[in-house]
Amino acid sequence: MKPFNHDIGGYAFLGLLVATAWAIPLAVFLHRDAHGSAMELPRCDEARSLDQVREALEEQGGQAVLGLFDATELRRGAIGDYRRCLAKVVTTAGEAHIGFAIGWHDRRNAIPFWTGDRLPPSPLDRANH
């Protein structure tokens, strides 16, 4: 039978120290996006932003969204907590500019939200009211 090694406490401490030294950079790396930068909100002109806005506009009903383009950022929060955007939307009723915002629903888990203007009423809707 082998004798008990009395230096096991020293080895355990050294192992924990090494594990901690690896865990901190790993946690920072995992908290970053695919481009290696700190988590940022999606840009106004990113495909997923435009898809989210298009879905919301189409769910309002009444007008089919034929296109959504020329999305530009008007303003960004000082700490990167929101973006205000403007885009041109083409519907069956014509063209209009709409504003929308992107913010954090859950920043820790990098879950954004999108919110914005409704489509202006079509000429047919205005004539019926």
Instruction: Look at residue 41 and tell me if it is in a domain.
Output: no
Instruction: Give how many domains the chain has, as a whole number.
Output: 1
pLDDT digits (tens, 9 = 90+) for 31-72: 444 444 468 999 999 999 999 999 999 888 768 899 999 999
Instruction: Look at residue 103 and tell me if it is in a domain.
Output: yes
Instruction: Look at residue 91 and tell me if it is in a domain.
Output: yes
- Per-position DSSP letters for the chain, written without gaps between them: -PPPPTTHHHHHHHHHHHHHHHHHHHHHHHTB-TTSSB--PPPTTSHHHHHHHHHHHHHT-SS-EEEEEEEEEEEE-TTSSEEEEEEEEEETTEEEEEEEEEEEEETTTTEEEEEEPPPPPPHHHHHH-
Instruction: Look at residue 74 and tell me if it is in a domain.
Output: yes
Residue 30 has pLDDT above 70, yes or no: no
Instruction: Look at residue 4 and tell me if it is in a domain.
Output: no
Instruction: Look at residue 115 and tell me if it is in a domain.
Output: yes
Instruction: Look at residue 96 and tell me if it is in a domain.
Output: yes
Per-residue model confidence (pLDDT) at position 74: 96
Instruction: Look at residue 63 and tell me if it is in a domain.
Output: yes
Q: Which range marks the domain in which residue 86 is found?
A: 47-128
